[in-house]
């Protein structure tokens, strides 16, 4: 299978699993959002995130994966809040990370961006943890060699879907509902 085809196949596996889980919890709509502004930020966010995420993956895989969901949520919140300002930020990942640090970025996003109560944060932490654990399990069971180019591409595919699911969850939380016309 070609690398591009493998990438798409892996993205579909991660998306299907996350969508099934999150829809079962009524955290995303049956129709996922079409959010080109949020998607447009992905490449720059991924490029900036990869040095941090890959460094943490060996010891803390669920953190490395889960933090990207928080980033997706923050970007969706910024999109809703004032995209004319936040769209001009050079890189929203480094903007978020540099407000505190990588290790505590989840705290910053929950408290200062999403403005969650303690109970909401506890619930969200459990959901993000489960999504990261599920995705990590899928990653580990792919028929690819650890440390290979294919493994790296699968990691990026996983991050992309976690980013999109974080954004979808936050958009639904803010009252956006996707329906067919």
Task: Render 153-166 in DSSP notation, one character per residue.
Answer: HHHHHHHHHHHHHH
What is the band of 30 on the pLDDT scale with cuts at 50, 70, 90? confident
Is a pLDDT exceeding 90 seen at residue 4?
A: no
DSSP 112: I
Q: What is the pTM of this model?
A: 0.94
Domain residue ranges of the chain, discontinuous segments joined by +: 3-173
**Residues sharing a CB contact under 8 Å with residue 78, sequence separation 6 or more, in sequence order:** 86, 92, 113
Q: Greatest CA separation found in the chain?
A: 46
CB atoms within 10 A of CB 55: 12
Question: pLDDT tens across 57-82, in order?
Answer: 999 999 999 999 999 999 999 999 99
* Rounded average pLDDT over 20-24: 97
Q: Are the C-beta atoms of 29 and 172 separated by less than 8 Å? A: yes
CB atoms within 10 A of CB 23: 13
Phi, psi (5° rounding) for residue 173?
-60, -35
Question: pLDDT tens across 90-131, in order?
Answer: 999 999 999 999 999 999 999 999 999 999 999 999 999 999
Token pair recorded at residue 166? 């974080």
Q: Give CA separation, 59 vs 22, 53, 75, 151, 178, in Å.
A: 26, 11, 26, 16, 37
CA–CA gap between residue 177 and residue 181 (Å, rounded): 12
Q: SS3 for 84? A: helix
Q: Are the C-beta atoms of 97 and 56 separated by less than 8 Å? A: no
């Amino acid at each position: 299978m070609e690398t591009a085809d493998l990438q798409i196949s892996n993205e579909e596996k991660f998306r299907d699993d996350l969508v099934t889980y999150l829809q079962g919890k009524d955290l995303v709509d049956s129709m996922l959002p079409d959010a080109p502004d949020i998607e447009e930020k992905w490449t720059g966010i991924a490029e900036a995130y990869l040095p941090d995420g890959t460094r943490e993956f060996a010891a803390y895989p669920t953190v490395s994966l889960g933090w990207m969901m928080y980033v997706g949520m923050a970007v969706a919140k910024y999109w809703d809040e004032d995209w004319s300002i936040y769209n001009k930020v050079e890189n929203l990942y480094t903007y978020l990370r540099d407000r505190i640090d990588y290790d505590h970025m989840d705290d910053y996003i929950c408290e200062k961006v999403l403005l969650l109560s303690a109970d909401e944060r506890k619930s969200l932490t459990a959901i993000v943890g489960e999504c990261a654990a599920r995705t990590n399990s899928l990653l580990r069971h792919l028929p690819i060699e650890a440390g290979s180019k294919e493994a790296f591409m699968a990691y990026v595919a996983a991050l992309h879907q976690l980013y999109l699911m974080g954004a979808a969850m936050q958009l639904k939380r803010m009252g956006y509902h996707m329906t067919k016309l």
